[in-house]
Amino acid sequence: MEATITPNLRYAAVLLILAAGAAALAAAARLGVGRQVVTASLRATAQLAAVSAVIVVVLRSWGLTAAFVALMLLVAVVTSARRVGRGHRTLLAGTAVAAGAVPIVALLLASGVVPRTPIAVVPVAGILIGGAMTATSLAGRRAMDTLRGRYGEVEAALALGLTDRDAVLLVCRPSAADALLPALDQTRTVGLVTLPGAFVGVLLGGASPIQAGAAQLLVLVGLLAVEVIAVVVVVELVARKLIPWPTR
């Protein structure tokens, strides 16, 4: 049996069952995301098909590789900005994505720990950018929800003499830090509960289990660094009112 996953009719049928089943269950439970499950699955199918078609060309050129990574970063910035709030000023939320991902990717490449080849750079950069995007979106939304629901506590802190920034940070930091829980839990339980994608991907690529483990550890710790930076930056932007506060 080949150690690869091959797209065929059986593969398509399983995907259809998974997507339709998840959407149906979400609808039956009135979670309000049934349609989003379907559209997300369709978008993922179309986008991965497109990426699969162009990735061979992209990986032949450093210029195209850099452009592809820049496109991933741009999409992540816009996505996080839309999740955090409305209006052009929310694009500042996207700077948290860049602040987290860019220096860590640069460190991994400059140190030579990640091979300076397009086929290594694209997946590692994609994982780290995706982590920064998720952390920014979650931390930003939690901070906004906290401001909306606990603004009385902010006003109380202001009455005690705290500055606007310090009052907001006092209330929002704990809730925004919850955005780090998925990364923390995944790192704590790796190898015991899950074998994440980087480990499996390196194994399927023919590397030894030791090499796969080393790659996965680098990705997990890198993700923690990326996401901590992203959370700190987005909460600071909220505290300084650079991202518009929600109406109460």
Sign of CA dihedral 32, 38, 40, 41: positive
Please give the structure tokens belonging to residue 205: 């690529």
Residue 50 has pLDDT above 90, yes or no: no
Average pLDDT over residues 154-158: 82
Please provide the DSSP assignment of 138-200 as one string: HHHHHHHHHHHH-HHHHHHHHHTT--HHHHHHHHHHHHHGGGGHHHHHHHHHBTTTB--HHHH
Determine if residue 178 is left, alpha or beta; phi over 0 gives left, psi from -120 to 50 gives alpha, anything else beta.
alpha
Give 188 or 202, the one with higher predicted confidence.
188
CA distances (Å), origin 222, targets 39, 62, 83, 184, 225: 30, 23, 23, 12, 5
Helix (H, G, I), strand (E, B) or coil at 82: helix
The pLDDT, as a whole number, for residue 1 is 43
Average pLDDT over residues 84-110: 84
Q: What pairs with residue 190 in β-bridges?
A: 194
Q: What angle do CA 8, 14, 19 make, to 5 degrees?
A: 125
pLDDT tens digits along 12-21 = 999 999 999 9
Give 165 or 132, the one with higher predicted confidence.
132
Q: What pairs with residue 149 in β-bridges?
A: none
Residue 142 has pLDDT above 50, yes or no: yes
The pLDDT, as a whole number, for residue 93 is 77
Q: Could you tell me which residues come within 8 angstroms of residue 171 by beta carbon, excluding any fewer than 6 positions away?
A: 146, 147, 150, 153, 154, 157
Q: Tell me the residue type at 105.
A: V
Alpha helix stretches (DSSP H) within the chain? 9-28, 34-58, 62-84, 94-111, 118-149, 151-159, 164-176, 181-189, 197-204, 209-239
The pLDDT, as a whole number, for residue 24 is 94
Q: Minimal CA–CA distance to 79: which of 66, 68, 91?
A: 91
* Angle between helices 9-28 and 34-58 in degrees, nearest 10: 150
The pLDDT, as a whole number, for residue 170 is 87
pTM of the model as a whole: 0.80
